[in-house]
Amino acid sequence: MKTSQYFLPVLKDAPSEASTASHRWMLQSGMIQSTVSGIYTWLPLGLRVLKKIKTIIRQEQNAIGAIEMLAPTLQPATLWQESGRYDDYGLEMLRVNDRHKRLLVYGPTAEEVFVDVVRRCIQSYKAFPLNLYNIQWKFRDEVRPRFGVMRGREFLMKDGYSFDLTPQASKETYCKVFRSYMRAFYRMGLSVIPLRANTGPIGGDFSHEFHVVAKTGESALYYDSVLENRTPPRFEISDFEEVYAMVDEKHLPEQCRVPAEQLKIARGIEVGHIFHFGDKYSSSMNAQVSSKNGEVVNLQMGSYGIGVSRLVGAIIEAFHDEAGPQWPLSISPFSLGIIHIQENLESKAEDLYCKVKDLGIETLWEDRPLSPGEKFALMDMLGLPFQAILSEKNQKNSQIEVKVRKTGERYCFSLDKFLEWLHLNCSEQISLPETIKT
């Protein structure tokens, strides 16, 4: 993509409403624009990141046999009355009367809709287990939206719902989803801590939250510091079972047996939350099936959420410096940025741009007549993992300069060597241990 043909409305200065790094950089680097309090328009650059996160989540969900579908954003209030949750969400749930005065809600989550879908189709126990998910916009009418997409009102969520015949099978599904979440976060370059959590209005018997550790996190985390010494990647729930890791409300100092000097207290950003709640919804909403031996049983359920739009902010909180975000390759809007310092290098830059595109590498070429300083600052603010810099000085030696955004490392290569290096570094996505590849 050439910036002259792109829509990249960056801001010169940090916007005054931004109180966190991610909020600032998402506004300033032209990823989002605030449409009204807590509701954002995703500009082209931001949408690219959002889509890449969706793709990773989708791949990991499909890999464990979860099946994608799509619930509507608006749901009938009657379903919420039936489950008994209509009042639980209070003012956070956006309620609206349609023209016939039928009450709809903008889904803050979709347990009821998924239970309704499944119960209307049940013919035999043979259809189970079922693990269904969707990635859809949700709404929670926060009293004070803040931190940009981190605590917005309209937000994109991956929410999944599992239906099993027995509590044991249901817990195994929960463990599978746990693993798929850890894998997905890992592929986004994130080091995420799973902690035991309360179930809140979703209900249920156990629950984990997934947190990115960041100073600007809204939640307090309490965990055994051995967690930090473990060799990543550890994806199985069993890897964490014996280790103390609690969110704020769940941490009871009098019950915590971790020695004080070993207890880590940190701030975290919640990016995922999973619940196992057995038959809470299937009993109230009559989602039953005759088992193999003829007994009528309530379906055993879990529900599983990832804050997709929030992750964009969380990743910036985890990876940025004073010049802008530092995108991990797997979710970066583009892999490479190209700038040419002198205007007479335009055709050289165009040639490089075409060659890199031919390799299938997503590239953004700053082809507008900006000053060198503006180009350098823009590229750092965009945060693409690699920058190729063409200057007269290096061209004399037929060299291309490369800058690695995260480390600041610089290399000089001939064109051929550069293409080889780039190809290697861009195809080398974070590799997962062979044994658990799916």
Binding residues (CB under 8 A) for a second copy: these are 4-7, 9, 33, 35-37, 39-44, 47, 50, 65, 67-76, 78, 91-92, 94-96, 98-99, 102, 104, 106, 113, 116-117, 120-121, 126-127, 130, 132, 137, 139, 141, 143, 153-154, 368
Q: Which is nearer to a second copy, 368 or 393 (CB)?
A: 368
Minimum CB distance to a second copy, residue 154 (Å): 5
The amino acid sitting at 63 is A
Q: Which is nearer to a second copy, 128 or 181 (CB)?
A: 128
Minimum CB distance to a second copy, residue 375 (Å): 16
Cα dist from 96 to 73, 89, 102, 139, 379, whole Å: 12, 15, 8, 12, 44
Q: Which is nearer to a second copy, 76 or 233 (CB)?
A: 76
Alpha carbons 269 and 274: distance in angstroms, whole number: 15
Minimum CB distance to a second copy, residue 52 (Å): 13
Of 327, 335, 343, the closest CA to residue 381 belongs to 327
Q: Which is nearer to a second copy, 67 or 265 (CB)?
A: 67
Minimum CB distance to a second copy, residue 68 (Å): 6
* Residue 324, SS3 per DSSP: strand
Residue 95: exposed, middle, or buried by beta-carbon count in 10 A (0-12, 13-18, 19+)? middle
Q: Which is nearer to a second copy, 71 or 193 (CB)?
A: 71
* Residue 336, SS3 per DSSP: strand
Distance from chain centroid for Cα 110: 18
Alpha carbons 306 and 334: distance in angstroms, whole number: 23
Alpha carbons 105 and 197: distance in angstroms, whole number: 27
Residue 152: exposed, middle, or buried by beta-carbon count in 10 A (0-12, 13-18, 19+)? buried
The amino acid sitting at 407 is T
The amino acid sitting at 204 is G
User: Strands 400-404, 410-413: parallel, antiparallel or unpaired by DSSP?
Assistant: antiparallel
Cα dihedral 18, 20, 22, 26 in deg (nearest 10): 10
Minimum CB distance to a second copy, residue 121 (Å): 3
Minimum CB distance to a second copy, residue 321 (Å): 25
Alpha carbons 97 and 112: distance in angstroms, whole number: 19
Minimum CB distance to a second copy, residue 151 (Å): 15
Whether residue 194 is preceded by a cis peptide bond, meaning omega within 30 degrees of 0, is no
Q: Which is nearer to a second copy, 141 or 279 (CB)?
A: 141
Minimum CB distance to a second copy, residue 236 (Å): 22
Minimum CB distance to a second copy, residue 140 (Å): 10
Q: Which is nearer to a second copy, 137 or 411 (CB)?
A: 137
Q: Which is nearer to a second copy, 116 or 380 (CB)?
A: 116
Looking at residue 151, the DSSP 8-state letter turns out to be: B
Q: Which is nearer to a second copy, 11 or 432 (CB)?
A: 11
Cα dist from 249 to 33, 136, 260, whole Å: 34, 29, 18
